[in-house]
Copies of this chain bind each other. A is one copy, B any other.
Amino acid sequence: MNLLALFEISDQNLNRLAQIPNLTVIKPDDLTPTLMTKIDFIYGWGAVGPRVLEQSKQLKFIQAYSAGVDYFSLDQLAQKRVLLANVSGIHGEPIAETVLAYVLDFTRGIHAAERAQTQSKWVGDELRPTISTLADQKAVIFGTGHIGQQIAKRLQQFSVKTVGVNRHGHPVDYFDQVTKDDHTLDVVRQADFIINIMPLTTATRHFFDDRFFSALAGHQIFINVGRGPSVDTSALIHALDNHQLAGAALDVFEQEPLPADSPLWSMANVLITPHISGGFKEYGDEAFDILMLNLQTYLKSGKLAKNEVNLKAGY
């Protein structure tokens, strides 16, 4: 059996794979046209993935190394009866920490101070009246899955009121309140922070559009750690330009890398990070642990142990 490794595997983890009988690890450089048809498992994805899926005759299971799987052709996987798993669960803590950093950067005047630092400017008197503590501020979090819950948990520790938005509106741990995604405009008007962590589906594409931003009161900070295409970028830029939003912290974008000529780069109230919110040094090891578990379970039972994606729902 052949495992195509499209995400880096450490030597230590390669040794763990070597203990599985009859399994050969194929690296992208070793792929021949013949071998491409004989891949059983794929770890990761990238440019070569779709070609292998197209030509595969025995592909059984793909272990993605991301939580979102919107970049896969899910219909094609369903049709070819290929199982897909994500690595949901490992991003919760790093993304929650990143969101807290964004929030505190704005409330504590640090984002503005760093801008002033680039001009060697001491702006204490200007900043002091604008900064605040987090207690009793309000965050609306779109997406109440594992990552959304970890974000809400951290915010609650700082006495922030947390409102979750999802499709069913049922109570979820760490949220003071949960509302359905068609009842949100009243809720967001009263929010201080609007945080997106929804998966990208046809329902969430351009969810944050002109209509959404127009409903805001102007003091809100918008944070996107979900998926770039959930936001209509032009509408976001328009909202920032017209003070419908006080600021934004963005880790994901409709087009990545964010084009060098995007006006977002130079907007004073925008904080840009390059799709790193879920990263941490041990990411490779934790993602590999999920691959290993799913691989061993599949070889025994033909099923996945963890994180199988519902190909119809898209997450």
Contact = CB atoms under 8 A, between A and B. Distances in A.
Nearest to A107: B97
Interface in A58-117: 93-94, 97-98, 100-102, 104-105, 107-111, 113-114, 116-117
Contacts of A120: 260-262, 265-266
A281 B98 contact: no
Interface string A131-152: 1111100000000000000000
A205 interface: no
Contacts of A280: 131-133
A158 interface: yes
Contact of A97 (B104, B114, B123, B260): B104
B279 A127 contact: yes
B101 A133 contact: no
A276 B127 CA distance: 7
Contacts of A94: 108, 131, 133
Interface stretch (A11-19, A49-57, A267-275): A267-275
A33 interface: no
A275 B117 contact: no
A168 interface: no
Contacts of A135: 93
One complex includes copies of this chain to the number of 2
A21 interface: no
A134 B257 CA distance: 27
A133 B95 CA distance: 9
A271 B105 contact: no
A276 B104 contact: no
Interface residues of A, number: 53
A278 to B, nearest CB: 9
A46 interface: no
Contact of A98 (B97, B110, B123, B258): B110
A118 interface: yes
A162 interface: no
B109 A273 contact: yes
A148 to B, nearest CB: 17
B157 A116 contact: no
A276 B109 contact: yes
Contacts of A113: 271-274, 276
Given A272-B117, A276-B113, A104 B107 contact: no
11 contacts: A94-B133, A97-B104, A98-B108, A98-B110, A101-B110, A113-B273, A117-B271, A122-B257, A127-B273, A131-B280, A132-B281
Closest 7 CB pairs of A and B: A101-B104, A122-B257, A124-B274, A120-B265, A113-B273, A128-B279, A122-B274
